[in-house]
């Protein structure tokens, strides 16, 4: 009966033919789309006209006015702002930047994300001198204090952030930093929260999407508290890739939200575009953060290819901060930032958020600005420890939650239940687990005084001693020469006179040099004089017999026969001269870099060297 029913419902030949033609037409259209030729060298061609623009900076001295009237020990205090500026000026960084005027955001700009009621409530506090009433209103929100200047300064912080991002996007500056307060990443659509009133970064990001017409933004939030406000604004929007790295401890740390865990990955069209990296213990340091960037942030960023990167830059994961209780050293922030600076055409906006240890905050923020200006990443004083087991679990959990959305996260294979039950021992099988403990129920009124975390005096002293040591030992080198190079046409003399068109030919380095000239790179680099390596220098890697053999063989008539005795080698009467010239020129560049006279160098030399063995020529 089933067979006959199927036969009775068989479509007509005409219908089948129509479907066949429709399918064929669709395939043809797809083929036409697939045949569009993509120029893989387009980025390289575009780079010819790209010149690194200045670094922008925006701040306003009036931002120091915002303070807590009823608690002089409140951690979000004016010195957070003034100390950062002082350290930047001490390192002579601000004078190297292009100053962007601060401005207040308009109401329409704030309403891109916040409700009108939210805006008007804060507006009503402007200039109010009723301290008791202001404290009462503050108690209705979690971790908030209000000051007569709060409304105006919140507008100033938001407007300044918008203008920084607009200047970067339109090409007036290459990158930049907004040294602002109040911070913003906890502010929600209709709720003040966590020292934040208007969400500076989120509003500026929405402005970039709506007004500047960008379509792919990346926000990296390395503040130690989860930026739940920013997350909520873009949770279903694939145009914004959001990364938050935050202390969590299974929800026992503020803001105590389940949505801060690794499995909150976005919704709707935004599935896979929200990354939470919860830190489930304290005292995590450079090695842990390096692992997060290497295993998650950078691979996903490379795959996503954002047009603009915004850093919600809190420094409360830095050593000494009583709120974070982490141990990221100030000099490590440049290493995190530099790993992103090759993306988005180096269009990066750093926006100040939290950070409550004035020493590590000011140092970390200043070194971040120094990195934007092109400063070298400082050599780290302390060795980097491997990531902790707790952090490794978090990374694997994040990979599991996101692997179906990102090709770069599909490296680790999945295991089956059979493998789980039968393979013993199981050191490489990660078991994904989720634990939420949470915090205390929210009170009807939030505390407004004595809210700062208490740290034992001996711990504070220990942290300050370590910070001082790190600051003293960290060398902030500033070589006068950014890039040096060596090249000389004498190295073109080495050639294969027995085989026309041999791949290791003089044109290799001539064409490389000409391309440098074409891109006007030689105008921006310092050319070093070439030199011949001494025999003693060459003998650092080779035997003296080998050096003498190459020197003598160049005088023989049977060059072809001698070359055929070795793997992929030919000889020329000038081989020894060119080889010693190449080696000496490389040492010339290495000397300049190691002595700090140049930041980096390029060696356009031949013959090459990395296949040569201690006592045998090999591989050209």
Q: Active-site residues: which are they?
A: 186, 611
Measured between alpha carbons, how far is 391 from 287 in angstroms, rounded to an integer? 10
CA-nearest of 275, 299, 276, 279 to 288 is 279
Burial class (CB in 10 A: 0-12, 13-18, 19+), 616: middle
The dihedral region occupied by 194, where left means phi > 0, alpha psi between -120 and 50, and beta the remainder, is left
Contacts of 183 (CB under 8 A, 6+ apart): 76, 157, 194, 195, 196, 200, 223, 314, 352, 353, 354
Tokens linked to 3: 């067979």
Q: How far is CA 110 from the centre of its chain?
A: 27
- Asked if residues 198 and 183 have their Cβ atoms less than 8 Å apart, the reply is no
DSSP state of 529: P
Contacts of 6 (CB under 8 A, 6+ apart): none
Rg of the Cα atoms in the chain: 30
- Asked if residues 361 and 183 have their Cβ atoms less than 8 Å apart, the reply is no
Measured between alpha carbons, how far is 508 from 226 in angstroms, rounded to an integer? 52
The CB-side HSE value for 562 (13 A sphere, CA atoms) comes to 18
* Helix/strand/coil percent split, the chain, to 5: 40, 10, 50
Q: Edge-to-edge strands of the sheet including 526-527? A: 526-527, 481-486, 598-603
Burial class (CB in 10 A: 0-12, 13-18, 19+), 14: exposed
C-alpha distance from residue 41 to each of 45, 46, 47, 303, 340 (Å): 6, 9, 10, 18, 22
- Asked if residues 364 and 333 have their Cβ atoms less than 8 Å apart, the reply is yes
């Amino acid at each position: 009966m089933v067979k006959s029913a199927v036969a009775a419902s068989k479509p007509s030949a005409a219908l089948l033919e129509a479907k066949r033609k429709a399918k064929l037409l669709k395939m043809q259209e797809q083929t036409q789309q697939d045949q569009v030729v993509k120029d893989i060298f387009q980025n390289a061609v575009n780079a010819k006209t790209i010149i690194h623009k200045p670094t922008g900076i925006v701040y306003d001295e009036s931002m120091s006015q915002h303070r807590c009237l009823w608690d002089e020990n409140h951690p979000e205090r004016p010195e957070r702002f003034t100390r950062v500026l002082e350290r930047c000026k001490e390192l002579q960084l601000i004078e190297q930047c292009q100053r962007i005027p601060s401005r207040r955001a308009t109401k329409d700009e704030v309403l891109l994300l916040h409700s009108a009621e939210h805006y008007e409530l804060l507006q009503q506090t402007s200039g109010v001198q009723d301290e008791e009433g202001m404290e009462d209103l503050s108690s209705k929100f979690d971790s908030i204090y209000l000051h007569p200047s709060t409304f105006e300064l919140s507008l100033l912080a938001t407007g300044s952030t918008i203008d920084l991002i607009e200047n970067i996007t339109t090409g007036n500056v290459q990158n930049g930093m907004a040294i602002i307060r109040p911070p913003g990443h906890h502010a929600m659509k209709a709720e003040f929260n966590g020292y934040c009133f208007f969400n500076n970064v989120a509003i500026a990001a929405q402005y970039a999407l709506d007004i500047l017409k960008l379509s792919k933004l990346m926000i990296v939030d390395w503040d130690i508290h989860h930026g739940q406000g920013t997350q909520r604004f873009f949770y279903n929007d694939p145009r914004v890739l959001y990364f938050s790295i935050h202390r969590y401890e299974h929800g026992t740390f503020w803001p105590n939200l389940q949505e801060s865990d690794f499995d909150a990955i976005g919704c709707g069209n935004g599935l896979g575009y929200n990354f939470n990296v919860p830190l489930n213990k304290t005292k995590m340091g450079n090695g842990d953060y390096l692992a997060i960037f290497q295993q998650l942030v950078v691979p996903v960023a490379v795959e996503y290819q954002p047009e603009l990167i915004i850093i919600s830059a809190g420094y409360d994961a830095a050593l000494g901060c009583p709120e974070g209780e982490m141990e990221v050293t100030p000099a490590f922030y440049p290493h995190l930032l530099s790993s992103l600076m090759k993306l988005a055409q180096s269009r990066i906006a750093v926006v100040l958020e939290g950070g409550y240890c004035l020493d590590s905050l000011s140092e970390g923020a200043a070194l971040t600005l120094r990195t934007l200006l092109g400063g070298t990443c400082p050599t780290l004083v302390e060795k980097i420890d491997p990531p902790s087991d707790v952090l490794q679990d978090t990374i694997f959990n994040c990979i599991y939650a996101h692997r179906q959305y990102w090709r770069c996260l599909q490296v680790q294979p999945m295991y089956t239940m059979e493998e789980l039950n039968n393979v013993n021992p199981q050191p490489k099988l990660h078991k994904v687990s989720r634990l939420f403990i949470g915090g205390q129920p929210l009170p009807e009124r939030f505390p407004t005084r004595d809210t700062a975390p208490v740290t034992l005096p001996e711990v504070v002293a220990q942290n300050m001693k370590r910070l001082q040591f790190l600051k003293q030992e960290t060398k902030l080198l500033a070589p006068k020469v950014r890039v040096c190079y060596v090249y000389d046409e004498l190295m073109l003399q080495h050639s294969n006179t027995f085989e026309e068109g041999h791949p290791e030919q003089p044109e290799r380095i001539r064409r490389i040099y000409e391309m440098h000239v074409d891109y006007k790179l030689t105008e921006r680099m310092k050319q070093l004089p070439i030199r011949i390596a001494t025999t003693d220098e060459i003998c650092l890697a080779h035997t003296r017999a080998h050096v003498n053999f190459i020197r003598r063989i160049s005088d023989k008539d049977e060059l072809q026969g001698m070359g055929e005795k070795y793997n992929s080698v030919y000889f020329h009467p000038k081989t020894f001269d060119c080889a010693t010239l190449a080696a000496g020129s490389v040492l010339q560049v290495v000397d300049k870099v190691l002595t700090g006279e140049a930041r980096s160098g390029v060696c356009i030399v031949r013959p090459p060297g990395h296949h040569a063995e201690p006592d045998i020529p090999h591989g050209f």
